[in-house]
Amino acid sequence: MPNSAKTADINGAAEGVNLINRLRQIHRRLVDNKPLIEPDLRFLADGIGAYLSDVDHGRSSSLDRALSLKGTWGGVSPARRDVLHRRDQLIRALRDEVDEWREKGAIAVASLMSLSAQCYESQRWIRERDEMLPPDEPAATWWRILSAGGKIPGAKRLRQILEGEIQEPFEFPRERPNVGESEKGDHYE
């Protein structure tokens, strides 16, 4: 896209969950009136600069996109990745909190968690959504996930989370791959 300005330099490692964590650290330093380190200054300067360049050239501008906070078409935004990451951490920690789940395999625990979550969501969540955090587990974890706007996954996804088989969300490539004539056709090698 030749007309769009460069987005903030996030140095690869700051994508997704790491980008949100980086913003939290920047925010904390600003609130505590502490100086920012050079890479964070560069990140903010590049993002604001990209946004202003778009404005100055009459292009559609978005500070979210300039700071790489908005996902690409077909992609998952860093904010959504952060919610999913935190949900997955809560689910893994929950396994260790509930005595009857601690020693069981991922398949059995995923089924038990799924039933527990369904019961909580259909029976207690309606009453507790505007209340304080429930004191008991697993209700407290289900409340945290639902209060953050997340969904409690089904048994299959819970098993994947517990086994650590999480795949990165799919993103469409920015450009279609160029397939040469020699690469076309059926190959059975």
pLDDT in tens, 111-123: 999 999 999 999 9
pTM over 0.85: no
98: which DSSP letter?
S
Torsion angle of the four alpha carbons 82, 83, 89, 90, in this order, in degrees rounded to the nearest 10: 160
**Whether residue 69 is found in the same domain as residue 102:** no
**Same domain, residue pair 119 and 150:** yes
pLDDT digits (tens, 9 = 90+) for 144-156: 999 988 899 999 9
Q: Which residues of 23-36 are buried (b: 16+ CB within 10 A; e: fewer)?
A: beebeeeeeeeeee
**Of 61, 42, 47, 49, nearest to 4 (Cα)?**
61
Query: Domain for residue 91, yes or no?
Result: yes
**Domain enclosing residue 10, as ranges:** 1-75
Residues 118/116/120/122 CA torsion (nearest 10 deg): 30
Work out the pLDDT band at 35, boundaries 50, 70, 90. very high
pLDDT value for 82: 79
58/104 same-domain check: no
27-39 average pLDDT score: 93
Same domain, 82 and 71: no
Is 187 within a domain? Answer: no
| Domain match, 70 and 102 both | no
Burial 82-108 (b: 16+ CB within 10 A, else e): bbbbbbbebbeebbeebeebeeeebee
DSSP element (H, E) containing 55: helix 38-56
Please tell me whether residues 83 and 159 are part of one structural domain.
Answer: yes
Helix, strand and coil in the chain, % to nearest 5: 55, 0, 45
Examine the domain organization and report whether 61 and 86 are in the same domain.
Answer: no
pLDDT band at 166 (very low <50, low <70, confident <90, very high): low
User: In the prediction, which pLDDT does 80 show?
Assistant: 79
Q: Report whether 111 contacts 155 (CB < 8 A).
A: yes
Shared domain check, 107 and 32: no
Same domain, 85 and 135: yes
**Are residue 93 and residue 135 in the same domain, yes or no?**
yes
Out of 25-29, 79-83, 90-94, 97-101, which region has the weakest mean confidence (pLDDT)?
79-83
| pLDDT at residue 101, rounded to an integer | 95
pLDDT, mean of residues 124-132: 91
- pLDDT for res 96: 92
pLDDT value for 79? 74
Angle at 172 between CA 70 and CA 179, to 5 degrees: 145
Same structural domain, 19 and 42 = yes
Is the pLDDT score of 50 beyond 90? Answer: no
